[in-house]
A = this chain, B = another copy of it.
Amino acid sequence: MAERKLSSTNYYNQAFLEEKCALNELIYLLSKRWMTEVLFSIEAGNNRFTSLKDDLEHISDHILADRLKLLEQQGLIHKTHLPVNPPRTEYELSAKGAELSDLLDGLCNFAETQMQFQQFTTLIK
């Protein structure tokens, strides 16, 4: 995906916030579209690229590959390549990923019970 431009207030402020508190880095990661859904889908047992893609319905190859890469880089999932033909790759949650998933469940419960958003859902039939 696109590189970041190192000279810009935009970049500088992001760096400033991430320096200030790692929470900002974590939220930045999780806020990437489909990220939490990918995490939950792996937790639910979808351990292949294609099964994830089917489970998530509207995600593109490009984005799914990117999200898997980011999750792996952060040690939230483990990736196993099996040297067979056709190629086969399996994904699973790490202990760290499972811990994060639990924290997100808490947040999810808060969101479901305490918030009344409905900003973007009016379009869905």
Listed in ascending order, the chain A residues whose CB lies under 8 Å from chain B are 4, 6, 9, 11-31, 33-34, 36-37, 57-58, 74-75, 96, 99-100, 103-104, 106-108, 110-112, 114-117, 119-124
Q: Which residues of B contact A108 (CB under 8 A)?
A: 21-23, 26
CB pair A18 B123 closer than 8 Å: no
CB pair A58 B16 closer than 8 Å: yes
With A11-B123, A24-B37 already in contact, 16 other A-B pairs whose C-beta atoms are closer than 8 Å: A11-B120, A12-B58, A12-B123, A14-B120, A15-B121, A17-B34, A23-B36, A25-B115, A26-B115, A27-B36, A27-B107, A29-B117, A30-B31, A74-B115, A100-B110, A103-B110
